Amino acid sequence: MRPVAVVDFGAGNLKSVVKAVQYLGYEVRVTRSAQDILEAPTLILPGVGAASPALEELEAGGLAEPLKKVVQEGRPFLGICLGLQVLFEFTEEGDRPCLGLLKGRVKRLPPGVKVPHMGWNLVRQKRPHPLFDGVPNPSYFYFVHSYYPAPEDGGVVAGETEYGLAFSSVIIRDNLVATQFHPEKSGQLGLQVLRNFLALSASL
């Protein structure tokens, strides 16, 4: 099995991601090194918290460009929660540009719902994909977030969730996979999603 690099950019939630990947039998390297990222065969970008300090940390550590290069070169990449949001062009959280790997914006959840959206909610699969092998449609996964992705291209949306509106909760474009929910905190079905991504990564 190829080793998996998990990027530590000060956004937390590393331990549960590392533990889940190790449980599935993979070697994990937690890293803040640009060189490690450039050499990683498979990359996971997890995160919770605010976008602005996370993006500042990525830029200050010289990690933004290596992350872009990994995705652009077609290597397997998984973004989780904040690790999904920073992939877009712009976020309303802090009103600032992001990495620009996906066209679209990250928006505040609408008025009238409790923020953050925290707890279990349904993900409805929008199209078949190996990421969902063994995962019933719909299924519950665990969320913690106050902002949501609004991609320009509806073709990248593989899963949706209702919370005040229907938002994109799974994004898939070629080698890039990203979930607004936390698979590492979503029990056996979350582990299945991680297992599917890691199995898929071997074929990319």
Q: Which residues are catalytic?
A: 81, 182, 184
- 3-state secondary structure at position 31: strand
Which residues are registered as beta bridge partners of 118? 144
- Dihedral angle, C-alpha 34, 37, 38, 40, nearest 10 °: 150
- 3-state secondary structure at position 184: helix
Cα 73 to Cα 22: distance, rounded to the nearest angstrom: 26
Q: Radius of gyration of the chain from Cα atoms?
A: 15
- The total number of residues written for the chain in this structure: 204
Instruction: Find all residues with CB under 8 Å of 183, minimum gap 6, and list them.
Output: 20, 80, 141, 190, 191, 193, 194
Cα 54 to Cα 12: distance, rounded to the nearest angstrom: 10
